[in-house]
């Protein structure tokens, strides 16, 4: 992974796609080990949460199958006459073709699980006159199984699950997502193989059916189940002063596993008043924090229509945010902030905030399920710095600058965000913050050109 991350994302994806494509290309596939690309795609998914590599290798592997199939259809007869001159070889080829016609799609799907047969089956199917549309669907199912097994192994390896106990723990942690994906795949394959409709109609129907399973699972999870009862309030931080903030893990996420991409907690507020007072001065809209089972579907739809969709839960120090606020925006794009009260300090309380800009709707891993959620702009510092500018110009709160409390990340890091590591330090006029505490935080003024929120 360290080697891959030193190169551009586009270059990595091209390399993975080329290896996956050549893996089953007739004549070349014997010398290309596609497992390298499949394992790397799984490891990338596990460490970064990005699905690009998985999608690319699966699509490239499927296209390699189709290319070999059409090469078999165009050149199969001539190549058989040229290279299969001994009668023994021709009999073996005919037996393979007879099994292909007898078992049909099942033969093609299972061939993907065995290296040598995967290399020749597409060419065999083309030369034997197997229907192109049926081969395309069977090949897709075979890629999901054959390539999927190596992607899974790569992901498990990247997560450090090197023993049965570790694999069991992974399955237990993600069993809901596993059931959803298996159900989607089963529905898709049943419709593709059993429906008597035209090839394109089967593909459309199967895709809609799989999407229906996914959406139904989301609705059932969010509106038909409830969040587990808290086992008591999480223990608050023991911070007595600003100097105690150094060394804290300032990350919030939607779950405890590596599949849950964290978001930086990039604002600290020292105040005798709740953050609601600050947000009211700025004119921000308070959001509802979505908790499973606490909101009905009609209420959810009403909030969507008002362009104030509820904010999903993020957990910091094991606790969901106390409040959330947003600026006016669209359904897909908005700037929002979550606040947590985390400690009592001299003269008031310490609150942490996580601010970011939603830029699109995407499928993200949330608690125990892949869900349709907002995806943040990875340049989270832009929203933080713009917020500092608003606080300075529109309120009587003090913006003291940035404290280097987080490790900086760049575009090549495995995280889902880029930051200089600075946490914006704010305080109200009535909360004292002695010079020695300001000094120990190493505060510096924002150096990035703030962009309007």
Please state whether beta strands 334-345 and 348-366 pair in parallel, antiparallel, or not at all (unpaired).
antiparallel
β-partners of residue 239 are none
* Statement: residue 452 has pLDDT above 50: no
**CA–CA separation, 15 vs 17, rounded Å?**
5
Place of tokens 């106390």: 322
pTM over 0.75: no
DSSP for 395-449, please give it: SS-EEEEEEE-S--B-TTSSSS-BB-SEEEEEE-TTS---HHHHHHTT-B---S-
pLDDT (average), residues 150-154: 85
Place of tokens 């049943």: 190
- Whether the Cβ atoms of residue 253 and residue 315 lie closer than 8 Å to each other: yes
pLDDT of residue 324: 94
pLDDT of residue 212: 93
Q: Token digits for 256? A: 């405890």
Residues 194-243: tens digit of each pLDDT: 777 777 888 888 889 989 999 999 888 888 887 665 444 555 555 666 67
pLDDT of residue 99: 64
SS3 label, residue 313: coil
Task: Give 3-state DSSP helix, strand, coil % of the chain, rounded to 5.
Answer: 50, 20, 30
pLDDT of residue 87: 53
Q: Token digits for 123? A: 């060419």
For the ranges 119-133, 358-372, 418-432, which has the lowest average pLDDT? 119-133
Give the whole-number percent of the chain exceeding pLDDT 70: 80
Residues 267-312: tens digit of each pLDDT: 999 998 999 999 999 999 999 888 877 788 888 888 888 888 888 8
pLDDT (average), residues 106-114: 73
CA 322, distance to chain mean position in Å, is 25
Q: Token digits for 443? A: 């505060």
Average pLDDT taken over every residue of the chain: 79
pLDDT (average), residues 301-326: 87
pLDDT (average), residues 354-359: 91
Long-range contacts of the stretch 72-79 (C-beta < 8 A, 24+): 72/26, 72/122, 72/123, 72/124, 72/125, 72/126, 72/127, 72/128, 73/126, 73/127, 73/129, 73/132, 74/126, 76/123, 76/126, 76/127, 76/128, 77/127, 79/127
* Statement: residue 353 has pLDDT above 90: yes
SS3 label, residue 257: coil
pLDDT of residue 31: 77
- Residue scoring higher pLDDT (65 or 226): 65
The closest of 265, 390, 280 to 325, measured between CA atoms, is 280
* Statement: residue 83 has pLDDT above 60: no
- Residue scoring higher pLDDT (432 or 340): 340
Residue 163 main-chain phi, psi, to 5 deg: -140, 170
The continuous run of DSSP H or E covering 143 comes out as helix 132-158
């Amino acid at each position: 992974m360290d080697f891959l991350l030193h190169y551009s994302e586009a270059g990595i994806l091209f390399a993975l796609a080329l290896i996956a494509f050549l893996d089953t290309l007739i004549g070349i596939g014997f010398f290309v080990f596609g497992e390298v690309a499949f394992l790397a795609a799984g490891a990338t998914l596990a460490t970064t949460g990005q699905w690009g590599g998985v999608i690319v290798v699966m699509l490239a592997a499927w296209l390699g199958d189709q290319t070999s199939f059409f090469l078999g259809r165009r050149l199969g007869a001539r190549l058989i006459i040229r290279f299969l001159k001994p009668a023994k070889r021709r009999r073996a080829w005919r037996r393979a073709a007879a099994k292909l016609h007898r078992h049909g799609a099942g033969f093609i799907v299972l061939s993907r699980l065995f290296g040598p047969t995967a290399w020749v089956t597409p060419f065999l199917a083309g030369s034997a006159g197997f229907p192109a549309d049926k081969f395309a669907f069977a090949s897709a199912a075979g890629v999901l199984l054959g390539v999927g097994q190596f992607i899974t192994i790569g992901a498990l390896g990247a997560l450090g699950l090197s023993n049965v106990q570790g694999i069991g723990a992974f399955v237990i942690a993600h069993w809901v997502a596993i059931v959803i994906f298996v159900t989607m795949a089963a529905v898709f394959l049943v419709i593709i193989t059993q429906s008597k409709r035209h090839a394109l109609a089967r593909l459309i129907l199967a895709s809609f059916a799989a999407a229906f399973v996914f959406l139904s699972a989301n609705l059932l999870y969010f509106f038909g189940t409830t969040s587990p009862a808290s086992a008591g309030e999480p223990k608050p931080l023991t911070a007595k002063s600003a100097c105690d903030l150094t060394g804290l893990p300032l990350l919030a996420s939607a779950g405890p596993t590596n599949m849950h991409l964290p978001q930086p907690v990039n604002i600290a507020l020292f105040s005798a008043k709740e953050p609601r007072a600050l947000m009211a001065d700025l004119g921000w809209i308070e959001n509802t924090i979505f908790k499973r089972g606490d909101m009905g579907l009609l209420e959810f739809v009403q909030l969507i229509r008002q362009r104030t969709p509820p904010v999903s839960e993020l957990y910091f120090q094991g606790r969901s945010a106390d409040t959330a606020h947003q600026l006016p925006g669209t359904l897909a794009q908005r700037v929002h902030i979550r606040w947590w009260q985390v400690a009592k300090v001299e003269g008031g309380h310490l609150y942490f905030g996580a601010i970011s800009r939603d830029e699109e709707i995407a499928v993200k891993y949330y608690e125990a399920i892949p869900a349709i959620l907002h995806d943040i702009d990875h340049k989270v510092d832009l929203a933080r710095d713009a917020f500092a500018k608003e606080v300075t110009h529109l309120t009587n709160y003090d913006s003291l600058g940035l404290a280097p409390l987080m490790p900086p990340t760049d575009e090549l890091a495995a995280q889902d965000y880029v930051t200089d590591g600075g946490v914006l330090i704010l305080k109200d006029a009535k909360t004292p913050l002695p010079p020695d505490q300001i000094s120990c935080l190493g505060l510096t003024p924002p150096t990035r050109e703030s962009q309007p929120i």
